[in-house]
């Protein structure tokens, strides 16, 4: 059960059909398959073997996809990286994953050149940065690529296919190891649930460095034989125009994307006769957005629920009449969920508790963090950290109501406050901080921080602290608002009362 082998078999079936339209070029299923083989040659020539980690730090484009598929073909693990990460973050991901190879482009490399020189075992190769070549011979340092197909698919089943870094509860990000079994089982379950076929045309506007864009959307489309129209970045007006012009049938977004599409709806008013399905995930879709979208477009968004560690867990049904606002639907094929009390006891249907997950979708664990891995499992169940209940009147339909762990979801990105607090507290004028989320119309939630300075009369202001934080954290993790306080509110036990902070500043 190797994902790349399964996708290569699909490529043979769909042959010369258009698989991806990107930046003015069309790539057939066979083009992508051939490129995956060529890039696999390149990786083998670089000495990459089964189990090695290959980090991809590239703008959204075809090269990202080719290298990812090539990795899977030869049993290596993809470590997808957000090009907007800071040098500090990238250096950490490269060293924590023990990557043997970094595939990047000169401009992005410039910011990490110095820090990664110390990593003696890390090789680097450069693409031309345009994101659309199908020939690895254009990669700088590639040398002459051998002609024979090197794909031997040595990995599969419970072998790691990707390491996806998630924000860390205790400060540093954790690398979630996703296996071939996770990816294949989830891909098949989603295809079934969403009635996904070769007749579909998917508009792809999400980043490729996360599960939503790469795994759910791209793997799914390559397997189903659908054509993907890929944009390098989300732009609401271009998206609305493309939905009509390209007769798109399938669209995936986070709530922020749907919110922005509605903002431009009146002026663009696309003809959506071809459209079949709008899907939302990665962050809670508010009832208000769900209703407003239906009112304006005539389409009920299908909301599904997932997380990097468990891929996709539940989905609303395909039948629009059965999609309920606020509900994330039912477990996917092969996935089990149960609701547990904080004491670890299964609660009665209808009662709120933590959602626990089991199935082929659940990840292997955190890379090199056995303790953290053990902490998130309980008797074989993954503790999701999400609070919810199952409706006994509706076949145990799942509703999510909150989180048991402190987590901020901003525009589909997960941010644990601790990571932001650690960055802020690196500043020598800062005594302590408390990071919390406040509601935001566009991003759903925004990152905010209460800051106590070491000396009250310090000249440090919000702007300077924001610039400082930027050295350590990528933009979406940086606080959108900073509040300076004399002290942080604490309860009798000395614990910081974030709920009070939320009330004070919302
Ligand atoms: C961008 N910015 C954000 C942000 N995205 N700030 C807070 N939250 C966000 N989500 C900031 C940038 O730092 C930058 O700030 C400014 O906004 C403009 O950046 P941009 O790159 O032009 O952003 P924009 O195009 O506006 O992006 C918005 C977005 C994007 C919604 C399109 O955030 C996005 O693609 N989100 C999807 C994330 C995703 O794929 N998540 C899936 C995780 S997998 P400055 O100061 O630098 O100018 C997962 C599992 C599952 O969760 O179930 O799916």
Q: What is the pLDDT of residue 130?
A: 61
What is the CA(302)–ligand 1 centre distance, in A? 21
d(CA 1, CA 118): 37
d(CA 188, CA 183): 9
Nearest CA, atom 41, ligand 1: 412
d(CA 153, CA 9): 12
Q: Are 87 and 138 within one domain?
A: yes
Q: Which of 476, 479, 482 to mutate for ligand 1's pocket (most ligand atoms within 8 Å of CB)?
A: 476
Report whether 52 contacts 101 (CB < 8 A).
Answer: yes
CB atoms under 10 Å from CB of 245, counted, come to 12
How far from chain centre, in Å, is Cα 227?
A: 21
Q: What is the pLDDT of residue 114?
A: 83
Q: What is the pLDDT of residue 489?
A: 95
DSSP string, 223-238: HHT-EEEE-SS--HHH
Contacts (Cβ under 8 Å, ≥6 apart) of 42: 70, 125, 136, 139, 142, 145
d(CA 422, CA 418): 6
Q: Give the position, in ligand 1's atom list, of the atom nearest the Cα of 211.
A: 44
147, pLDDT greater than 80: no
To 10 degrees, what angle do helices 3-14 and 29-45 make?
140
219 inside domain: no
Domain end: 355, 370, 404, which one? 404
In this structure, the residues whose C-beta lies within 6 A of any atom of ligand 1 are 206-207, 210-213, 234, 254, 256-257, 281-282, 306-308, 410-413, 443, 475-476
- Dmax over Cα atoms in the chain, in whole Å? 70
Give the tokens for residue 370: 């056995």
Q: Are 378 and 278 within one domain?
A: yes
Tens of pLDDT, residues 78-93: 999 999 999 999 999 9
Phi/psi-derived region of residue 329, left when phi > 0, alpha when psi is between -120 and 50, beta in every other case: left
Q: What is the pLDDT of residue 133?
A: 56
Q: The whole model's pTM is what?
A: 0.95
Nearest CA, atom 39, ligand 1: 412
Compute the CA torsion angle 53, 59, 65, 67 (nearest 10 deg).
Answer: -40
Q: In CATH, what number is assigned to the domain containing residue 473?
A: 3.30.300.30
Q: Are 412 and 477 within one domain?
A: yes
Nearest to 289 by CA among 260, 266, 264: 260
What is the CA(258)–ligand 1 centre distance, in A? 13
Give the tokens for residue 163: 């390491």
Report whether 388 contacts 398 (CB < 8 A).
Answer: yes
Q: Are 89 and 111 within one domain?
A: yes
Q: Are 245 and 361 within one domain?
A: yes
Domain end: 146, 163, 182, which one? 182
Give the tokens for residue 12: 């043979």
188 inside domain: no
Residue found by looking up tokens 């199952």 in the block = 390
Q: What's the per-residue H, E or C state across 44-105?
A: HHCCCCCCCEEEEECCCCHHHHHHHHHHHHCCCEEEECCCCCCHHHHHHHHHHHCCCEEEEC
Nearest CA, atom 50, ligand 1: 307
**Partners of 436 in the beta sheet?**
448
What is the CA(16)–ligand 1 centre distance, in A? 34
Q: Are 446 and 361 within one domain?
A: no
Tens of pLDDT, residues 103-125: 999 999 998 988 888 898 999 99
Nearest CA, atom 51, ligand 1: 282
Nearest CA, atom 30, ligand 1: 411
168, pLDDT greater than 90: no
Q: Are 104 and 38 within one domain?
A: yes
195 inside domain: no
Position with higher pLDDT, 495 vs 315: 315
314 inside domain: yes
Q: Are 14 and 147 within one domain?
A: yes
412 inside domain: yes
Nearest CA, atom 2, ligand 1: 476
Give the tokens for residue 481: 């608002």
User: For all residues of the chain together, what is the average pLDDT?
Assistant: 94
What is the CA(412)–ligand 1 centre distance, in A? 7
Tens of pLDDT, residues 246-283: 999 999 999 999 999 999 999 999 999 999 999 999 99
Q: Are 67 and 140 within one domain?
A: yes
- Residue 465: helix, strand or coil by DSSP? helix
Nearest CA, atom 47, ligand 1: 475
131, pLDDT greater than 90: no
Q: Are 324 and 352 within one domain?
A: yes
Phi/psi for 494 (5° steps) reads 90, 5
Q: What is the pLDDT of residue 440?
A: 96
Give the tokens for residue 167: 């924000």
Domain end: 404, 427, 446, which one? 404
Nearest CA, atom 3, ligand 1: 476
204 inside domain: no
423 inside domain: yes
Residue-number span of the structural domain to which 14 is assigned: 3-182
DSSP at 391: E
d(CA 149, CA 11): 15
Position with higher pLDDT, 272 vs 149: 272
- Give how many domains the chain has, as a whole number: 3
Q: Are 459 and 363 within one domain?
A: no
pLDDT band at 1 (very low <50, low <70, confident <90, very high): confident
Q: In CATH, what number is assigned to the domain containing residue 343?
A: 3.40.50.12780
Q: Alpha carbon of 490 to those of 234, 422, 498: distances in Å?
A: 41, 19, 9
Q: Which of 475, 480, 481 to mutate for ligand 1's pocket (most ligand atoms within 8 Å of CB)?
A: 475
191 inside domain: no
Q: Are 161 and 265 within one domain?
A: no
């Amino acid at each position: 059960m190797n994902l790349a082998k399964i996708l290569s078999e699909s490529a043979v079936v769909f042959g010369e059909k258009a698989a991806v339209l990107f930046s003015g070029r069309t790539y057939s299923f066979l083009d992508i398959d051939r490129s995956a083989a060529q890039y696999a040659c390149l990786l083998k020539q670089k000495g990459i073997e089964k189990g090695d980690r290959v980090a991809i730090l590239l703008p959204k484009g075809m090269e990202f996809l080719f290298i990812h598929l090539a990795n899977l073909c030869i049993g290596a693990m993809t470590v997808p990286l957000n090009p907007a990460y800071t040098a500090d973050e990238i250096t950490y991901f490269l060293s924590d994953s023990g990557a043997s190879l970094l595939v990047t482009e000169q401009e992005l490399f410039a910011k990490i050149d110095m820090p990664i020189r110390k990593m003696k075992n890390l090789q680097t190769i450069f693409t031309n940065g345009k994101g659309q070549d199908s020939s690895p011979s254009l990669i700088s340092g590639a040398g002459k690529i051998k002609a024979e197909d090197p794909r031997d698919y040595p990995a599969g089943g419970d072998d790691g296919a990707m390491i996806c870094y998630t924000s860390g509860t205790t400060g540093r990000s954790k690398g979630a190891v996703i296996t071939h079994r996770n990816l294949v089982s989830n891909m098949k379950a989603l295809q079934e649930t969403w009635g996904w076929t070769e007749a579909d045309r998917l508009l792809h506007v999400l980043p490729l460095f996360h599960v939503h864009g790469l795994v759910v959307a791209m793997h799914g489309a390559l397997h189903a034989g659908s054509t993907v129209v890929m944009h390098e970045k989300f732009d609401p007006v271009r998206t609305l125009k493309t939905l009509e012009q390209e007769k798109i049938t399938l669209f995936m977004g986070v709530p922020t994307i749907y919110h922005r599409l509605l903002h431009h709806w009146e002026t663009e008013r696309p003809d959506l006769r071809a459209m079949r399905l709008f899907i939302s995930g990665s962050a809670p879709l508010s009832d208000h957005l769900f209703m407003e979208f239906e009112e304006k477009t005539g389409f009920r968004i299908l909301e599904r629920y997932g997380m990097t560690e468990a891929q996709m867990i539940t989905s609303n049904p395909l039948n629009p009449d059965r999609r309920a606002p606020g509900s994330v639907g039912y477990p996917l094929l092969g996935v089990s969920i149960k609701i547990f009390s904080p004491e670890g006891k299964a609660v009665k249907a209808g009662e709120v508790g933590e959602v626990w997950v089991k199935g082929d979708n659940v990840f292997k664990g955190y890379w090199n963090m056995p303790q953290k891995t053990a902490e998130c499992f309980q008797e074989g169940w993954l503790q999701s950290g999400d609070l919810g209940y199952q409706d006994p009147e509706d076949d145990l339909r799942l509703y999510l109501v909150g989180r048991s762990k402190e987590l901020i979801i901003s525009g589909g990105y997960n941010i644990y406050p601790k990571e932001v607090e650690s960055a802020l507290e690196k500043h020598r004028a800062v005594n302590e901080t408390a990071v919390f989320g406040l509601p935001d119309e566009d991003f759903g939630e925004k990152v905010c921080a209460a800051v106590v300075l070491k000396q009250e009369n310090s000249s440090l202001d919000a702007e300077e602290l924001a610039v400082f934080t930027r050295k350590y954290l990528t933009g979406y993790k940086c606080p959108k608002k900073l509040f300076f306080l004399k002290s942080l509110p604490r309860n009798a036990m000395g614990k910081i009362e974030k709920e009070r902070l939320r009330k004070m500043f919302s």
